[in-house]
Amino acid sequence: MECQGEYLPLVRRLRTPALFCALAVLVCELIALPYANMGVGDDGPYVLMARHLSDTGHIVFNGWATAMLGWQLYIGAAFIKLLGFTYTAARISTLLVATVLAFVLQRTLFRAGISERNATIGTLALVLSPLYLTLSVTFMSDIFGLFAVVICFYGCLRALQASTTSAAIGWLCFAVATNAICGTARQIAWLGILVMVPSTLWLLRAQRRVLITGTAATFAGILFIPVCMQWIKHQPYAKPEHLLPTTFPIGRTLSELIHFYLDVPFLLLPIIALFLPGIRRSSRNFRVAISTVSLSYILLVIHFWHSHPGFLLEPTVESWIGVHGVAGGMFLQGTPPIFLHTTIRVLLTVASIGGLFGLIASWLHTRRAPPVAGPSHGSSWKQLRIVLVPFATAYVLLLFPRATGWLYDRYALALLVIALLCLVRYYEERINPRLPLYCTFLVGIMAIYGVMITHNMFALYRARVVMAAEIRASGIPDTAVDNGWEYNFGVEIEHAGFLNDERIEIPAHTYVPTPPLPAGTCPMFSFDETPHIHPLYGVSFDPNACYGTAPFAPVHYSSWPYSAPGTLYVVKYTPPSKS
């Protein structure tokens, strides 16, 4: 018994549930086999920047990054130094941060007043989601930026719960310092210093010493931001990011925002589905309202079916998580095979939107009822509101300029953390102190889904690398092949050192308009950024695209869970020569 008594504090110190969350991310990623020696999404130019930093010790932009990247480049360069240059070596750094973030998120949810068990399930619902798993094995800045937000929030919670003045000051300084440094990867993460920490100071204003010291630390952190912004502003081949768009198309902006926010319930499906039974307990008038809204929703889907098949069916954004089971926007010829068929999308939509209705019904039913759980061990709802609502408001406002162009599902990560915290704690306090067993089952289903699409995406990218090597072996250079914009960007940077983007301001007159492709050539996405590429051939999902199949063997790639593999072909981009 004495040995057991010594063992339990050790378990608590080791934070076993949080370690389990981190380990779960690592195991799922290893199963997915996420390696491919080419750019994935935006990360190709970032990896090449990390390689340059590893070789020379200097950060040099190459015409693509609007994010500062900061500490992300240094940790990526460290792994390249350690393992040698491959795209995978740089991406291992993201996976490391993603596993640590899973640990910190579990502890953050616990500190926010959620029980240990529920905090673990809630953390797994996010970190094993398809969106988190796919981004955790790229070298994009989303996971690094999310880490900056979560670690800052954790520091703010610890400051609010500190038992001494010195501890509160220490945690506030920790929140400022980590957010300042980690925010260099993704500038929007600096909302931690700008909004979250000042909100925490407002709650601690009665403690004079904490207020004065915390304000000084926050002011120092705020001064750090314009210094960094001035630095990136003067970097050659960095793309400046303007806060306000030059045009504001209302229709497109509303469409992007609707699709973006409708995607949030789907991305937190294991948690939002818990509220489905709330519809059954709702009033008759509310059920009539749900039926009316649901019928209108169905009519809209049917109305747009011919012009926009799958309109308003989950996943609505179809960016990183879409119907094809691979990241959208590769812009290869043809269309990838369908991964989520219409029946599955309908079921996902019913569960996601139905859970949203159930949440509203549960709130209406329980808003005056006494809590089913005792007082929270963590921060109060008032404290959480004061810390999180201003941050979420500022974050949402900064998304509006993005909505004039494209709103990607990965932009929702910080909002997903806030929504997750609120949903799990509300369920625990007002519905059931323990998340039900079927929630764990749903987490497992979404984890399997995430592993499959992560595997499929990287299997497809590996097939593109094999296809490029096959074409190159025949004596045709990479500059004569359109292998999708990610691969093309890598080729252009290797030849020119930077991308030909009109938004580059330093050096002046860097951008030179690219002459149009010769008449009859198949269209190539982002050809203006890659003037060194003059495509004679292209990689395609369809053997009949453009001018038909070129004399190269097709390349197959595995596509879980289906037995039939996906296939890539090489097609001709120019018309046959006339006799």
Element (H, E) at 557: strand 555-557
pLDDT for 373 equals 66
Three-state SS at 90: helix
Residues 310 and 426 in one domain: no
319 and 391 belong to one structural domain: no
| Residue 565 scores a pLDDT above 80 | yes
User: Does 278 share its domain with 261?
Assistant: yes
Q: What is the overall mean pLDDT for the chain?
A: 92
- The CA-based angle 334-340-94, given to 5 degrees, is 85
- Decide if 446 is inside a domain: no
Q: Which residues contact 533 (CB under 8 A, 6 or more apart)?
A: 478, 479, 480, 481, 482, 488, 491, 492, 524, 527
pLDDT the model gives residue 328: 82
82 and 20 fall within a common domain: yes
- In whole angstroms, give the CA distance from residue 71 to residue 366: 45
322 and 359 part of one domain: yes
d(CA 502, CA 512): 8
- Average pLDDT estimate for 381-402: 94
Strands 481-482 vs 537-540: parallel, antiparallel or unpaired: parallel
In this structure, the answer to whether residues 356 and 399 fall within a common structural domain is no
Query: What pLDDT does 403 receive?
Result: 85
47 and 22 share a domain?
A: yes
Looking at the fold, whether 220 and 274 belong to one and the same domain comes out as: no
Q: According to the model, what pLDDT value does residue 12 have?
A: 56
Supply 114's token pair.
């959620």
Q: Kindly state the tokens that stand for 82.
A: 């350690």
Specify if 465 maps to a domain.
no
Q: Are residues 313 and 269 in the same domain?
A: yes
| Residue 22 belongs to a domain | yes
377 occurs within a structural domain = yes
Q: How far is CA 399 from the centre of its chain?
A: 14
Q: Is the pLDDT of residue 4 over 80?
A: no
pLDDT one-digit tens code per residue, 99-133:
999 999 999 999 999 999 999 999 999 999 999 99
Based on the structure, what is the number of domains in the chain? 3
Same domain for 255 and 311, yes or no, is: yes
**Tokens 């109305």 -> residue:** 303
Q: What is the pLDDT of residues 290-301, one digit of tens each?
A: 999 999 999 999
Residue 112, in any domain of the structure: yes
- How much is the pLDDT for 342? 93
More confident residue, 241 or 388: 388
Measured distance CA(9)–CA(5) in Å, rounded: 7
Mean pLDDT for 33-41 is 95
Residue 74 counted as domain residue: yes
Q: Are residues 489 and 565 in the same domain?
A: yes
SS (H, E, C) 337-359: CCCCCHHHHHHHHHHHHHHHHHH
The answer on pLDDT for 244 being more than 60 is: yes
Q: Is 509 contained in some domain? A: yes
The one-letter code for the residue type at 239 is: K
Would residue 274 count as lying in a domain?
yes
Kindly tell me the burial class for residue 507, based on how many C-beta atoms sit within 10 Å of its own C-beta (0-12, 13-18, 19 or more).
Answer: exposed
pLDDT in tens, 417-461: 999 999 999 999 999 999 999 999 999 999 999 999 999 999 999
Domain span at 519: 472-572
C-alpha–C-alpha distance, residues 407 and 442, integer Å:
27
**33 contacts: CB under 8 Å, gap ≥ 6:** 455, 458, 459
Answer yes or no: do 207 and 254 share one domain. no
Query: Does 2 have pLDDT greater than 90?
Result: no
Radius of gyration (C-alpha) of the chain in whole angstroms? 25
- Whether residue 242 is predicted with pLDDT greater than 90 in this model: the reply is no
More confident residue, 222 or 378: 222
Average pLDDT for 533-540: 96
For the segment 466-498, what is each residue's pLDDT rounded down to a tens digit? 999 999 999 999 999 999 999 999 999 999 999
Cα torsion 546, 549, 551, 553 to 10°: value is 120
Q: Check residues 305 and 1 and name the one with the higher pLDDT.
A: 305
**Whole-number pLDDT of residue 309:** 86
Calculate mean pLDDT across residues 131-144.
97
**Residue-wise pLDDT tens digits, 47-68:** 999 999 999 999 999 999 988 9
What's the N-to-C CA distance of the chain in angstroms?
93
- Residues 371-377: contacts with CB under 8 Å, at least 24 apart: 371/429, 371/430, 372/429, 372/430, 372/431, 372/432, 372/433, 373/428, 373/429, 373/433, 376/113, 376/425, 376/429, 377/113
